[in-house]
Structures are given as structure tokens and as C-alpha cells.
Structure 1
Amino acid sequence: MAIQQEIGIHEVPRWNKWLILSIQHLFAMFGATILVPYLTGLSPAVALVSSGLGTLAYILITQGNVPAYLGSSFAFIAPIIASTAIGGIEGVMIGSFMAGVVYGVVAIVIKTTGINWIMKLLPPIVVGPVIMVIGLGLANVAINMAMNFDHGAGVFVDPMLHFTVALVTLSITIFSSIFFRGFFSLVPILFGIVGGYVLAYFLGLVDFGPVQEAAWFRVPDFVIPFVTHTPNFSWTILALMVPISIVTISEHIGDQMVLSKVVGQNFIEKPGLHRSILGDGVATIIASLLGGPPNTTYGENIGVLAITRVFSVFVIAGAAVMAVLFGFIGKIEALIATIPTAVMGGVSILLFGIIASSGLRMLIDNKVNLGHKRNLIISSVILVVGIGGAFIELTENVQIAGMALATIIGIILHLVLSGKEHSYGKYPLFAGLEDTDKD
């Protein structure tokens, strides 16, 4: 990067630098943010708008002290797909809204009692395997997209052609991630999608007709309660989506720790973890009121901060405003819709694998001993229950399944099995907790 001088959190860059730096953050989040709605049947335009508004709300709630960008959360992909089949997009938004409410409740409790209780409830031996379940549970989604599975007919349509596009897309993404340097190494998803899209175009898999017909300005297909629909409440959807917020809160804490290290300020103390969690929850609630996927802080944008050393919240806010504006450009939404599923499938093969691997990395980074029977039992049960698709039917209309069930079982095992001190590993954040949990 040409810009090496550090810009502080509350500094306002010159307008030309401000614009360029904000565009960088926009590119960093763009690929992942539109991928989630693409996979789940939601509107990419609404996702962009809710992402921008959620980020602005986050900045306000954290009193302009945390330079974080919020985009679509991958952890909710499988629950959204499952919930859509039960109650449609309207039902999904109720589940998303309640997940955001959980953030708010946790923020209030943390403000009142501190953070030790949540660290005890969610040790690495529980959160790590659950994150692995999130990634591995989506493996079939990625492969079905890569090989163009027709769910209506129940068969693969021209699988070799589409899988070739997917593999080329995957190869470009991997190459970009490994060999590119600086800012370009942070947007391999974008390079992969563009490269795969170009190949798909020459193979006749892209139709630009909808882009030519689309208007430049278009109001996104918002899903607003009591305006476009009557909310569809379902206990099963709540059981599918709300427990995932427990995992994403843990991921949020990890992001805050990394961000604190990058910037050189302790954001867990000031403005406080309760404010950042509340901001994340409010961003998800905003998305649920518009028809977008739940939001979460983005590691890609933290990477941009680390490389540029530009920590200004004004730059982040600029990217958020651009995202909102992009959501109202009809041709952009139409262009996104022309991307073949094989292209997104190729990118997803890597992304979902990385999610699973990040769960394994959590165990390694925290030096959790899987040689201890207690840890081995907890992780094994979580993986099989979550990936195997187990479910518990509480009533005729209430079902707890998949990741939600795996998370709950993991927490219960952690609480009831002896030797809790072995669950925390050696990470500084958990220092001292093992002493208080010795049996």
C-alpha cells in the first residue's frame, strides 16, 4: 500500500484518501456479504443496505471507538435455509430478530456481572467443534452448487461443465490468497468470483439480458413486518436460529480481541464488550426488519486495518454509506443475479472449509488437550450430532436440530462432566477460569 502513515480512530482523512480507503473496505466485505444471501435465497441488495445501516448503528453504539465493519454472517446460512423451508423468509426474519435480542440480553448481563460467566459457558472445547460443524454442515451445499444440482428434478444438470467452472473459480481464489500481497491478498473471494464469471461467460452460462433491462435506481425487495407481510412466528425456527447466536457471540469476542491487538487499544474494556455485543445485536435486528441476513463483524475488514494502519471510524462509515447506496442500484443487483451457481459453489468450497478449519484452529491456538477423555468426548459428540443432522422434536411444531442441538448438548456436557479446568486450554483470555472450575 502507498499509505503507510497511521490514521487514528477519530481522525478524518482528506476527502480523496477517505474515498479510496472506504472503497477498499467495500471491496473487502463485498464478496462474502453478497454470498450469504445468494446461498440462502435472500436479496443481495437488501443485504448490502442492512450491512451498511448495521455498521453505522454499531459505530454509534460503540461511541465511535471501534473501527469494525459488519457484514452477512456465515454461521446462520444452514439455519436460514432450514427455516425458510418451514416458515418462509418472513419466518426467518422472526428468528433473526430474536437472535439479535439475545445479543442485547447478553450485553446487559455482561454490563452487570462482567465477562467471566460467558467464558465459562463457552470454552474453546465447545465453540471450536461447533464452528467446525458450521463449515462441514454446509459442504453438500457447496458441492451441489458447484455441480449444478437441480433440486426440483433431483439430478445434476451438466455437472462436468459446471464443476469445471467451479474448480477454475476455486483455483483463482486459492492463487489470489496465496500469491497476492497487500490489500489484494484480502479480497481473494472477489478475484475468484470475477475470474470464474469471465470463464462462465465464454462458456455460455451467463445471460446479460436482465442487467440490460434493469433500472439504474431500484428500491430493494425489503421484507418489512406489518408493511410487506404479517410476521410468521414459529418455535421451531427460533430453536434453529437463536442458539447460533451463542456461537457468534463467542466469535465476536475473538474478533474484538484481534481488533484490539491490531489497533493497540483494549476494546473489551473501552468502550466495553457490552457495547460492541449490543451493537452487533442491533445490526442483526436492523437486518431482520429489512429482510437481510444476520450481521457480524468481518475479519476481512480487520485485515484491511492491519495492512493500511488506517483505523478511522469515518473510513468505515464511508464504506457503510457506499454499501447502502449500492443496494439501491438496480443494475448491480441484476448483475449479481447473473452469477452462475457453479461460480459461487467454487468459492464456497474454500470458504466453508475455512470455517471448519477455523474451529480446529481455535482448539490449537488455545492449546486444548484432546488427549484428555473429557475434551475428546465433548468434541466428538458435538461433531457427530451437528453434522449428522440429529434433531429433537419437543412438540409437533417445535424441533431443535443440527447446529443448535449440537451447541446445546456441548454446553450441557461441559457443565456436567468433571474436570472443567481442562476445557479452557492455555489462552490468556481464559486464564484463571480453570482454577475456579476445578472439582
Structure 2
Amino acid sequence: MFRWTLHGNGRTIAADAIVLPEERLAWPLTIGIGAQHVVAMFGATFLVPLLTGFPPSTTLMFSGIGTILFLLITRNKVPSYLGSSFAFIAPIMASTQAESMGAALGGVMITGVLLALLGLLVSAIGTRWIGMLMPPVVMGSIVALIGFNLAPTAYENFQKSAVTATVTLFAVVLCTALFKGLLGRVSVLLGVLIGYLVAMMRGEVDFSPVAEAAWIGLPEFHHPEFHLGLLPMFLPVVVVLLAENVGHVTSVGLMTGRNLDHMVGRTLASDGLATALSAGFGGSPTTTYGENIGVMSATRVYSTAAYWVAGVAALLLSLSPKVGAAIFTIPPGVLGGVTFVLYGLIGIVGVRMWVDGRVDFSRPKNQFTAGVALVVGIANVTWTFQGTDMPLLASLAPWLGGIQLTGIALGTLAALVIYHLMNLLGRVTGTEPATEGGERRAPAGH
């Protein structure tokens, strides 16, 4: 488990060579590459607790622990860092507003357990059923509506300091356009730093919590509460995590020249367990990170030894409350600017699934599936089940009372029901062909 073959002389990599997951460079270089992975995940991982109110240091701690758990379960065969998942932001914020942070943590924990069970199912029967249940038009629609559903939250922060938000937004755009390699991959972090400097000059940053925080200490822990009525808001996130993990395994397999499809079940299970464990103590949910795929692509080093370094480094950094306090000084204007980009990119990931999956939008079933689902998600259509709405159902299942379906949950249901209903009726009436033509399952990523 902890024995890596030294690549060459351990100090250099040939132009056409790669460092495989079971290999490593000399330890000083491995530690340096591990540090790059920490930098790459840092900005995005901390944005989730900033937006949701979860403790940043706790998130960092369980990000490191989750990464180590992931490496153990996948037996060092799939290099990955587990950072904070943006897919959970909308249901977390809605749950916190409706009940409490504990209620949101309960929803995250149950989702993590369900993802882990899904991983076991995938390990047992394979992945083909995923494409049948959620073809590219359905999966892309669900991912897109989650991102676009968050747009009002981004605008709310943007309005609190439009100047700072605008500077932050354009800083991210310019850094992405101007820089290549690692700097290009951390353009969000660079944009946040630039926006933060502008906010400081405008007197929008309060450093007093940082001065009061201790240098060394345990993170702030919170524990989950379970509210069944909030669970439907979280269930659609499983689809996004499924897509992200499949996309991550596919990407790593392509870059290393290996077929890693047999590892999808293990990645799902480890991601689910890491998410559930993090929620048990107040940390943010986790997912595999595309930012770190960028580091691997730039360095051509896929050694899992570097990820062990990154996981341990994150764990050690989390033991400084001053780090968490410093992160929380980032003002709303900066968050507003950067989330304009990030939430939009989540939506575009869904659109990319349509493109990669060759979705034919000349077909009515695809038009209706995507169109209705997006409108429901963007409008954030909400329905709360009351016993008086369906007396018979309420008498048979009283536990359904109080269940709330938000735009994300209803949009997901709309995509699944409309697609499969129109597909079935089309096959019966002969208006739909027996095959899906050029459509194929699309890879996805964080």
C-alpha cells in the first residue's frame, strides 16, 4: 500500500513519459507536487463553507481525511483529491434557512450513505444501467439546473458590493485567459485574492476575528440532525456526484492509458463515506476535483504518493483556527463576483454533457426534458406536501407530511418522468426510433 516504485532516477521525467499512480519521484519533488495539489483545491474547497456557513477548518480537516480514505479504498489505483462539492450548496442553504445547520448536515450525511450504497451496487452489477436510467439529456439537465438554481444567491452577494464583485469577476476571467498551466487552473483563487485586496482598500474586511483566533487548536465540530421532509432536496445531488466520479475515473484512465471502469464503484463508495463522515462532524460534503486533474495534466505526475502528501498537509493546516478565521474574513462582494463564475460553470458542465453525449435536440423528447427541467430549476418551483392535499396518501403514509420539494428536486423529477414517458409513448406509437442514434453517455467532472 505504501510502496511506490521510483520513476527513473526520481528527479526527472522524460518528455514523453508519465509518472504512474504506483510510481513516485524523489520525496522532495513528491512533497512539492503534493503542495501544488493543496493550492489547486484550496480556493474552491473553502468557497463552500464560506457560502453555507459551515466551519472552514472542519471542512479542510475532513477534506484531508476524505482524501486519505479515498486512497485507501481505491487501493492507490485512482489518484484524486476530495474537495468540497458545489452540488450541495443549494440544498444546504435551503435546509439551513428552513431548519438549522444540523438539519443540513443530516441531509448531507444521508446523501453520502446513499452514494456509498450506490457504489456497492455499481461494483456488483456494473455501470450500464446508469446510462439507461439517465441518458445524457437527463443527466445534463439535472447538472445544469443545479448551477442555474443558485443564480439568485450569487446576485444577492453581488449587490452588497457591486464594485468589489465586478473586480473579482473580471479578475477570474482575465487570469483564466492570460495564464496557462497551474496558474490557469487556480485562476479562481487568484481572482479571489485580487478581489480581497480591493475589498481591503475599500474597508470591507474585518480582521478582528483573526487576531482573536488561536494558532493551534481543534476545528469547530457540529453534529447532524435528521429531518425527513428536507431529504428530497438532497437526492438529486447523487446524480451530480455520480457524473463527477464517472468523469474523474474516465479522465484519469485516458491520461494514464488504462481502463479504470472497474474502479467506479470504489470511487463512489469512498466519496460517499467521506461525505457522510465529514457531515458527522460539521464539514462540507466532498467530491473528486477537476482542479487537481489539471495539476496532473500539467505535471504528468499521477503518483498517489503526492495525494497522500496533500491529504496529510490539509489535515495539519486544519489544526490552526487562525486559518479558518482568515478565510471567513472574505467579504460578500468577493463571494458575489466569484460565484457568478462558479455557479455559471456548474450549469455549463451540464450543457457540456449534452454536447459530449451528442444529444439530438431536434427530437421533442429531448427538447421537453431539458426545457421543462431548466425552467423548474431556475424558477425554484417549490411544493410542500400537506396531509390535506392528498388525504388518502397521508393516511397510508403519515411520515410524508411536511416533505418539501424544491426546484432542484422537482426539476430532477421532471427530467426523469418527461424523458422516460415520452420515450415509452414514442416507442409504442412509432414516433421514436428503436435506438438513440448517435447519442452516448457523456463523461463529466467537477
Q: Deviations over 1:70-120 (max 9, x none)?
A: 111111100000011223111112111111111122122222222111111
Question: Structure 1's 142 and 326: CA in aligned 2 closer, same or farther, altered over 3 A?
Answer: same
1:412 is aligned, of 417, 431, 438, to 417
CA distance in 2, matches of 1:275, 1:15: 28
Partner of 1:364: 355
- The 5-angstrom pairing of residues 312-323 of structure 1 reads 312-323=303-314
CA distance in 2, matches of 1:337, 1:298: 22
Question: Structure 1's 56 and 426: CA in aligned 2 closer, same or farther, altered over 3 A?
Answer: farther
Partner of 2:50: 38
Residue 385 of structure 1 aligns to which amino acid in structure 2? Answer: V
CA distance in 2, matches of 1:3, 1:306: 16
Query: 1:187 Cα deviation (Å)?
Result: 0.1
TM-score scaled by structure 2? Answer: 0.87
Asked if structure 1 preserves the Cα contact closer than 8 Å seen for 2:87 and 2:237, the reply is: yes
Residue 78 of structure 2 aligns to which amino acid in structure 1? Answer: V
- The 5-angstrom pairing of residues 352-391 of structure 1 reads 352-391=343-382
CA distance in 2, matches of 1:22, 1:92: 32
Q: Deviations over 1:322-353 (max 9, x none)?
A: 11111111221111111111111111111111
Residue 356 of structure 1 aligns to which amino acid in structure 2? Answer: G
TM-score scaled by structure 1? Answer: 0.89
CA distance in 2, matches of 1:339, 1:312: 34
Asked if structure 2 preserves the Cα contact closer than 8 Å seen for 1:375 and 1:422, the reply is: no
SS in 1 for 2:83: strand
CA distance in 2, matches of 1:166, 1:366: 35
2:112 is aligned, of 100, 114, 134, to 100
- The 5-angstrom pairing of residues 129-208 of structure 1 reads 129-148=141-160, 162-208=161-207
Residue 218 of structure 1 aligns to which amino acid in structure 2? Answer: G
CA distance in 2, matches of 1:321, 1:378: 44
Question: Structure 1's 19 and 421: CA in aligned 2 closer, same or farther, altered over 3 A?
Answer: farther
Question: Structure 1's 176 and 430: CA in aligned 2 closer, same or farther, altered over 3 A?
Answer: closer
* Greater shift in the superposed pair: 203-212 or 174-183: 203-212
Question: Structure 1's 168 and 423: CA in aligned 2 closer, same or farther, altered over 3 A?
Answer: farther
Question: Structure 1's 424 and 307: CA in aligned 2 closer, same or farther, altered over 3 A?
Answer: farther
- The 5-angstrom pairing of residues 34-433 of structure 1 reads 34-148=46-160, 162-224=161-223, 231-269=224-262, 272-395=263-386, 396-418=401-423, 419=426, 426=438, 429=441
SS in 2 for 1:390: coil
Query: 1:285 Cα deviation (Å)?
Result: 1.0
Question: Structure 1's 115 and 345: CA in aligned 2 closer, same or farther, altered over 3 A?
Answer: same
SS in 2 for 1:290: coil
CA distance in 2, matches of 1:121, 1:357: 22
CA distance in 1, matches of 2:417, 2:70: 32
Residue 175 of structure 2 aligns to which amino acid in structure 1? Answer: S
Residue 374 of structure 2 aligns to which amino acid in structure 1? Answer: L
Residue 375 of structure 1 aligns to which amino acid in structure 2? Answer: N
Partner of 2:391: none
* Greater shift in the superposed pair: 37-46 or 259-268: 259-268
SS in 1 for 2:385: strand
Query: 1:214 Cα deviation (Å)?
Result: 1.6
Question: Structure 1's 238 and 176: CA in aligned 2 closer, same or farther, altered over 3 A?
Answer: same
CA distance in 2, matches of 1:422, 1:247: 28
Query: 1:428 Cα deviation (Å)?
Result: 5.3
Query: 1:4 Cα deviation (Å)?
Result: 4.7
Question: Structure 1's 288 and 425: CA in aligned 2 closer, same or farther, altered over 3 A?
Answer: farther
Q: Deviations over 1:103-154 (max 9, x none)?
A: 1221222222221111111111111122111111111111111221xxxxxx
- Superposed CA RMSD in Å reads 2.0
Partner of 1:10: 22
Structure 1 runs (4+) greater than 4 angstroms displaced: 2-5, 419-425, 427-431
Asked if structure 2 preserves the Cα contact closer than 8 Å seen for 1:386 and 1:403, the reply is: yes
Query: 1:424 Cα deviation (Å)?
Result: 5.8
Asked if structure 1 preserves the Cα contact closer than 8 Å seen for 2:377 and 2:411, the reply is: yes
Question: Structure 1's 423 and 133: CA in aligned 2 closer, same or farther, altered over 3 A?
Answer: farther
